[in-house]
C-alpha cells in the first residue's frame, strides 16, 4: 500500500530519519532540500552521483566544507536508507 | 497647513462614527511593545504573541518556506518583515494579524535587516548571492547589490547582514571570505567597500553601539573584527587559534552570532566545533576566559541586563539550555525545556525568556529570576522567536 521507496520494516526509525533530514539537514540544505548553505539534495541534483560517494559524503563529511561526518549519529544502514530516499525523492513526512 | 488639518478632521470623525456604528466590532486599541512573532517553520506561518499575559493572539499563514526564517520590525513596531528560505519577503501587520504584502525576491535567502531610518528592508541571499533593498512601505526593489568576487565574478552567498548607522549595512561573503559594507544612503547609487576577512565567514554581529562588526569564521579558528569607525585599518583577527590545534567535533548546526551576547565589557561567542563559549574583552578584544558547556553552542544570548547568558546547542545536545552567571562565570542551571530547542528570545527588560522546542511543537516561557516555567504554548515546529523591541536596536 505504501509507496516503495519509503517502505521499511521499521516505520518508527523511518519517521525519525525523515524528521532528521527535513529538519536538521534542512538547516543547511533547506527543508524542501532545494539548497541553502549546502547544495540542493533533490533527485535532479544527485542523479549523476555514484551511490557509494553519496553514502561516504553523509558518513564521513566533506573536509574543507561545512558538511559534517554523520557517523557518530547514524549507522551505515541509516545513511544508506537516507541516500536511497534522497535519490528517489525524499518523503515529505512519515507514511 | 490649517486647511489641511481641518479637512483631515472630517474623515477621522467619519471613521470614528463608522467604528461606533459597528458596535462590538470596534477594534480594541493596543500598542505593539509587548508583541512578537513565533516562526512556525514547517507550515509557513507565524504566530503573533504577546508577552504581558503570554498568549497567542493569532496566526498569519501563507509565508512560504520558513526553514531558517528571520524577521525585522518596522520602527513603529506594527509590521514584521519576514524573510523566508525560499526567497520570499512578507510584510505582516501584527495588529490586524494579516499578510499585507509578499514578494519573491530571490531563489534562496537567509535573512535581512532594516535601515536606521526604517525606510528600507534589505535581504541577504544565497541564490543568487548579494543583497537587495526594498521600500519598507511597498516592498518595491530599490537597490540590487551583487556579491561578485574573484576574476571570473562568481557570486558569493551572503551571511551576517546587519544595519549600521547612516543607512549602511555590513555583511560577510561565505565563499569569498570578505566583509563588505554597503552605503545605501542613496539607494540609487550604492557604495560598497570590501575587506578581506578569512576563510568561510558563517555569520556576523554588530556590537550594540554599532561600532564593531564581527564575523565568525568556519574555515579557521578565529573571528574577524572590523572597527567601523576606522574601516580603512582593515580586519583584525581575534581569538586566533582558539581551538588549540585540537580536532574539531563535527558541526551538525552552524552557530549563530546574531542575537548577540554582549554584556558589559564582554562578548560571549560560540566556539565552532567545541563545547565552549569564548569570552572576549570588548575593549582589548583579547580572550579573557572560556566557559565549558555541555554541547556545541548555537545561540549564546545575554539577558538584557547582562547578568546571565543563556546557551542552546547543536545536535545531539539540542534538548538542553544552560544558564550562566556573568559575574561569577558559574552555571546557574541546566534546563530541558523540550526536544530540539532552536531559539530563545528575552522580553525587552529580561524578566522572561521564550524558548522554542521544535520537536515538541511548543514554546516555553520562563521567569529568568526564579527559572520557573510561566507558560507553555502550542506552536507547529516553532523556530525563531522575535519580539518587536528589536525595532529599536542597532543590528536587529
- B110, A36: Cβ pair inside 8 Å? yes
Q: Which residue out of B252, B273, B312 would a mutagenesis test of the A interface target, given it has the greatest number of A Cβ atoms within 10 Å? A: B252
- The CA distance from B299 to B358, in Å, is 15
Residue A82 lies in a domain: yes
Largest separation between any pair of C-alpha atoms in chain A:
43
- Whether the per-residue pLDDT at B238 is higher than 70: the answer is yes
Residue B308 lies in a domain: yes
Q: Which residue out of A42, A62, A64, A68 would a mutagenesis test of the B interface target, given it has the greatest number of B Cβ atoms within 10 Å? A: A68
- A23, B359: Cβ pair inside 8 Å? yes
Q: pLDDT band for position B2 (50/70/90)?
A: very low
Q: Is B14 helix (H, G, I), strand (E, B) or coil?
A: helix
Is A36 near chain B, with CB under 8 Å? yes
Q: Give how many domains chain B has, as a whole number.
A: 2
C-alpha cell at position B208: 550594540
For the stretch A21-46, pLDDT in tens is 999 999 899 889 999 899 999 999 99
Q: Same structural domain for residues B208 and B72?
A: yes
Boundary residue ending a domain (B238, B264, B289)? B238
**Percent over 90 (pLDDT), chain B:** 86
- Whether the per-residue pLDDT at A57 is higher than 80: the answer is yes
- Whether the per-residue pLDDT at B124 is higher than 80: the answer is yes
Strands B276-281 and B88-93 come out as unpaired
Task: Estimate the crossing angle of helix A11-19 against helix A76-88, to 10 degrees.
Answer: 70
Is B361 near chain A, with CB under 8 Å? no
Q: What is the pLDDT of residue B336?
A: 97
Q: Same structural domain for residues B132 and B65?
A: yes
Boundary residue ending a domain (B188, B209, B238)? B238
What are the residues whose beta carbons fall under 8 Å from the beta carbon of B374, sequence distance 6 or more? B54, B352, B365, B366, B367
Q: Same structural domain for residues B268 and B373?
A: yes
- Whether the per-residue pLDDT at A4 is higher than 70: the answer is no
Q: What is the pLDDT of residue B261?
A: 85
Is B389 near chain A, with CB under 8 Å? no
State which residues form the domain around A18.
10-88
Q: Same structural domain for residues B234 and B332?
A: no
Averaged over B326-348, what is the pLDDT? 96
Element of type H or E holding B278:
strand B276-281
Q: Same structural domain for residues B76 and B190?
A: yes
Q: pLDDT band for position A95 (50/70/90)?
A: low
Residue A93 lies in a domain: no
Q: What is the pLDDT of residue B110?
A: 85
State which residues form the domain around B387.
256-396
Q: Same structural domain for residues B206 and B285?
A: no
pLDDT higher for B9 or B32?
Answer: B32
Q: What is the pLDDT of residue A27?
A: 87
For the stretch B263-276, pLDDT in tens is 889 999 999 999 99
Q: pLDDT band for position B1 (50/70/90)?
A: very low
Residue B29 lies in a domain: no
Averaged over B25-29, what is the pLDDT? 73
Q: pLDDT band for position B69 (50/70/90)?
A: confident
Asked if residues B103 and B134 have their Cβ atoms less than 8 Å apart, the reply is yes
Q: CA nearest B376: which of B56, B46, B35?
A: B56
* Poorest-pLDDT segment among A50-59, B105-114, B168-177: B105-114
Nearest-CA distance from B158 to chain A in Å? Answer: 10
Chain B residues near residue A31 by CB distance under 8 angstroms? 41-42, 65, 67, 85
Asked if residues B86 and B108 have their Cβ atoms less than 8 Å apart, the reply is yes
Give me the residue label for grid cell 504581558. B52
- The CA distance from B112 to B114, in Å, is 7
Q: What is the pTM of this model?
A: 0.91
CA neighbours within 13 Å on the CB side: how many for B23?
Answer: 0
Averaged over B205-219, what is the pLDDT? 95
- Residue B32 phi/psi, 5-degree rounding, is -120, 5
Nearest-CA distance from A17 to chain B in Å? Answer: 13
Q: CA nearest B236: which of B245, B223, B247, B246?
A: B223
Q: Same structural domain for residues B100 and B178?
A: yes
Q: Same structural domain for residues B232 and B264?
A: no
C-alpha cell at position B187: 539607494
Q: Same structural domain for residues B102 and B136?
A: yes
Is B254 near chain A, with CB under 8 Å? yes
Find the Cα–Cα–Cα–Cα dihedral B51, B54, B60, B61, rounded to 10°.
120
Q: Same structural domain for residues B261 and B363?
A: yes
Q: What is the ipTM, given to two decimal places? A: 0.87
* Poorest-pLDDT segment among A38-52, B21-35, B107-121, B319-333: B21-35
Q: Give how many domains chain A has, as a whole number.
A: 1
Nearest-CA distance from B174 to chain A in Å? Answer: 9
Q: CA nearest B261: which of B219, B291, B322, B302?
A: B302
- Whether the per-residue pLDDT at B283 is higher than 50: the answer is yes
Is A16 near chain B, with CB under 8 Å? no
Task: Estimate the crossing angle of helix A51-60 against helix A76-88, to 10 degrees.
Answer: 130
Residue B15 lies in a domain: no
Q: What CATH number did the domain enclosing A66 receive?
A: 1.10.760.10
Q: What CATH number did the domain enclosing B231 receive?
A: 2.140.10.20
- A73, B252: Cβ pair inside 8 Å? yes
- Residue B233 phi/psi, 5-degree rounding, is -75, -15
User: How high does pLDDT run on average in chain B?
Assistant: 93
- Whether the per-residue pLDDT at B127 is higher than 70: the answer is yes
Residue B226 lies in a domain: yes
- The CA distance from B262 to B148, in Å, is 32
What are the residues whose beta carbons fall under 8 Å from the beta carbon of B135, sequence distance 6 or more? B119, B120, B142
Is B202 near chain A, with CB under 8 Å? yes
Is B86 near chain A, with CB under 8 Å? yes
Residue B42 lies in a domain: no
- Whether the per-residue pLDDT at B225 is higher than 50: the answer is yes
C-alpha cell at position B35: 508583541
Is B85 near chain A, with CB under 8 Å? yes
CA neighbours within 13 Å on the CB side: how many for B86?
Answer: 16
Closest partner CB to B65 (pick from A23, A31, A69): A31
What is the b/e burial string over B153-185, where b = at least 16 CB atoms within 10 angstroms of the residue's CB?
eebbbbbbbbbbeebbbbbbbbbbbbbbbbbbe
Angle B331-B336-B338 (CA atoms, 0-180°, nearest 5)? 150
Boundary residue ending a domain (B187, B205, B238)? B238
Asked if residues B350 and B323 have their Cβ atoms less than 8 Å apart, the reply is no
* Poorest-pLDDT segment among B4-18, B45-59, B68-82, B242-256: B4-18
Q: What is the pLDDT of residue B212?
A: 96
Asked if residues B298 and B272 have their Cβ atoms less than 8 Å apart, the reply is no
- Whether the per-residue pLDDT at B12 is higher than 70: the answer is no
Averaged over B175-180, what is the pLDDT? 97
- The CA distance from B278 to B285, in Å, is 11
Q: CA nearest B323: which of B290, B267, B256, B369?
A: B369
Is B43 near chain A, with CB under 8 Å? no
Chain A residues near residue B340 by CB distance under 8 angstroms? 23
Q: Same structural domain for residues B195 and B276?
A: no
Q: What is the pLDDT of residue B271?
A: 95
Closest partner CB to A34 (pick from B108, B252, B253): B108
- B254, A24: Cβ pair inside 8 Å? no
Q: Same structural domain for residues B337 and B191?
A: no
Angle B139-B144-B147 (CA atoms, 0-180°, nearest 5)? 135
Residue A32 lies in a domain: yes
Q: What is the pLDDT of residue B270?
A: 95
- A66, B381: Cβ pair inside 8 Å? no
Is B209 near chain A, with CB under 8 Å? no
pLDDT higher for B110 or B324?
Answer: B324
For the stretch B80-118, pLDDT in tens is 999 998 899 999 999 999 999 999 998 888 899 999 999
Q: What is the pLDDT of residue B264?
A: 84
Residue A40 lies in a domain: yes
Nearest-CA distance from A3 to chain B in Å? Answer: 23
Residue B203 lies in a domain: yes
Residue A77 lies in a domain: yes
Amino acid at each position: 500500500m505504501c509507496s516503495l521507496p519509503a517502505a521499511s520494516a521499521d516505520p518508527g526509525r523511518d519517521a525519525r530519519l525523515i524528521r532528521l533530514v527535513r529538519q536538521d539537514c534542512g538547516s543547511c540544505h533547506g527543508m524542501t532540500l532545494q539548497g541553502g548553505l549546502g547544495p540542493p539534495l533533490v533527485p535532479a541534483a544527485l542523479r549523476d552521483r555514484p551511490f557509494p560517494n553519496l553514502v561516504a559524503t553523509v558518513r564521513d563529511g566533506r573536509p574543507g566544507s561545512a558538511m559534517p561526518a554523520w557517523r557518530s549519529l547514524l549507522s551505515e544502514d541509516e545513511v544508506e536508507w537516507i541516500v536511497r530516499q534522497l535519490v528517489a525523492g525524499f518523503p515529505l513526512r512519515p507514511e | 497647513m490649517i486647511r489641511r488639518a481641518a479637512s483631515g478632521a472630517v474623515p477621522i470623525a467619519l471613521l470614528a462614527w463608522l467604528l461606533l456604528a459597528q458596535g462590538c466590532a470596534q477594534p480594541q486599541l493596543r500598542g505593539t511593545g509587548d508583541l512578537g512573532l513565533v516562526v512556525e517553520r514547517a507550515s509557513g506561518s507565524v504566530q503573533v504573541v504577546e508577552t504581558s499575559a503570554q498568549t497567542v493572539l493569532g496566526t498569519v499563514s501563507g509565508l512560504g518556506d520558513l526553514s531558517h526564517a528571520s524577521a525585522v520590525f518596522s520602527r513603529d513596531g506594527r509590521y514584521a518583515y519576514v524573510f523566508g528560505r525560499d526567497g520570499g519577503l512578507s510584510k505582516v501587520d501584527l495588529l490586524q494579524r494579516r499578510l499585507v504584502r509578499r514578494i519573491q525576491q530571490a531563489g534562496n535567502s537567509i535573512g535581512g535587516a532594516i535601515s536606521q531610518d526604517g525606510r528600507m528592508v534589505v535581504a541577504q541571499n544565497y541564490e543568487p548571492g548579494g543583497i537587495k533593498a526594498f521600500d519598507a512601505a511597498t516592498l518595491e526593489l530599490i537597490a540590487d547589490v551583487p556579491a561578485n568576487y574573484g576574476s571570473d565574478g562568481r557570486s558569493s552567498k551572503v551571511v551576517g547582514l546587519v544595519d549600521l548607522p547612516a543607512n549602511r549595512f555590513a555583511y560577510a561573503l561565505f565563499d569569498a571570505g570578505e566583509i563588505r559594507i554597503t552605503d545605501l544612503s542613496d539607494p540609487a547609487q550604492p557604495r560598497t567597500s570590501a575587506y578581506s576577512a578569512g576563510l568561510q565567514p558563517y555569520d556576523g554581529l554588530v556590537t550594540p553601539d554599532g561600532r564593531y562588526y564581527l564575523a565568525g569564521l568556519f574555515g579557521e579558528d578565529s573571528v574577524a573584527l572590523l572597527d567601523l569607525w576606522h574601516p580603512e585599518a582593515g580586519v583584525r583577527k581575534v581569538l586566533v587559534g582558539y581551538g588549540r590545534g585540537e580536532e574539531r567535533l563535527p558541526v551538525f548546526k552552524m552557530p549563530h552570532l546574531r542575537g548577540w551576547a554582549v554584556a558589559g565589557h564582554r562578548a560571549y561567542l560560540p566556539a565552532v566545533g567545541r563545547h565552549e563559549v569564548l569570552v572576549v574583552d570588548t575593549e582589548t578584544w583579547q580572550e579573557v576566559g572560556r566557559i565549558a558547556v555541555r554541547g556545541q553552542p548555537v545561540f549564546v544570548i545575554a539577558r538584557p541586563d547582562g547578568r546571565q547568558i543563556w546557551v542552546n546547542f547543536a545536535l545531539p545536545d539540542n534538548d538542553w539550555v544552560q544558564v550562566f552567571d556573568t559575574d561569577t562565570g558559574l552555571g546557574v542551571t541546566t534546563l530541558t525545556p523540550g526536544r530540539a530547542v532552536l531559539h530563545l528570545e528575552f522580553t525587552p527588560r529580561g524578566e522572561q525568556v521564550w524558548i522554542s522546542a521544535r520537536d515538541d511543537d511548543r514554546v516555553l516561557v520562563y521567569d529568568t529570576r526564579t527559572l520557573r516555567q510561566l507558560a507553555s504554548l502550542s506552536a507547529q515546529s516553532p523556530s525563531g522567536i522575535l519580539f518587536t523591541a528589536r525595532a529599536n536596536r542597532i543590528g536587529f
